[in-house]
Structure formats: structure tokens, C-alpha cells
Structure 1
Amino acid sequence: MPNEAEAITIRFADDFEANLYALAKRYRSIRKDVQPVIEQIQAGNFMGDRISGITED
């Protein structure tokens, strides 16, 4: 269907996963804290400032 948004797949870098795992030992709610950001990205709501000179493919 032409009006449906394309699904966004998020893959975490190995370093991110390792750091998240290590931080989760100390900060028990970190996974719950990160989840809303992941959901916003999956919905197509990209946060932050656009870097000039970078184009979307």
C-alpha cells in the first residue's frame, strides 16, 4: 500500500549492547528508560539536529 510507512529496523552496535548490559547492572531501569527513544525512532520520529551536508538515501 502506498500510504503505509516503511518499517524501521533498529540494530544495536556491539559496543552499545555491551555498554547497556554493563550499565544495567548498576541502573536497573536503564532498559525501560531507553525503550521510549527506540519506539520514537521506529515510528519515524528522529530526534536531534540534522548535520549539514548529510543527505538521506
Structure 2
Amino acid sequence: MYNQSCSTCQGNRYQTCSSTTNTCQCPGNSYWNGSMCPLQLFENAACGQIDACRSDLNLSCII
């Protein structure tokens, strides 16, 4: 469903409809890992992709 038309994620509590792109996206403080929307990670957590960490807390993933 991720990145698909909003009609595919209506009623889905794990993805939300982006009004700017009209596509299904992960909700705030979560990220798309290729199969689901887990919560973003905190300090000292192992990460494997750039958007996995909480940028609102100035954290970044160094790959």
C-alpha cells in the first residue's frame, strides 16, 4: 500500500493519506523499511537507512 493511491489505505491504521501527494505514507515518527512502517529509532540504536532515526530530535543514521 505504501506510496499507492490514498484509496488503498483508507481505514488502515498503519498508514495515512498524504494530502500533498495523495498517496499512502507512514505516519509521523515512523519510516518505510520496505515492508512496514516501524517507529523511528532513538540514540545509539542500530540503523540501516537514512530516514530510520528521529530527525526532529536531531538524530541521524550514519551508514
Name the TM-score class by shorter chain: under 0.3
Greater RCO (Cα-Cα under 8 Å, separation 6 or more): 1
More helix by share: 1
Give TM-score scaled by structure 2 length: 0.23
Calculate the TM-score normalised by the size of structure 1.
Answer: 0.25
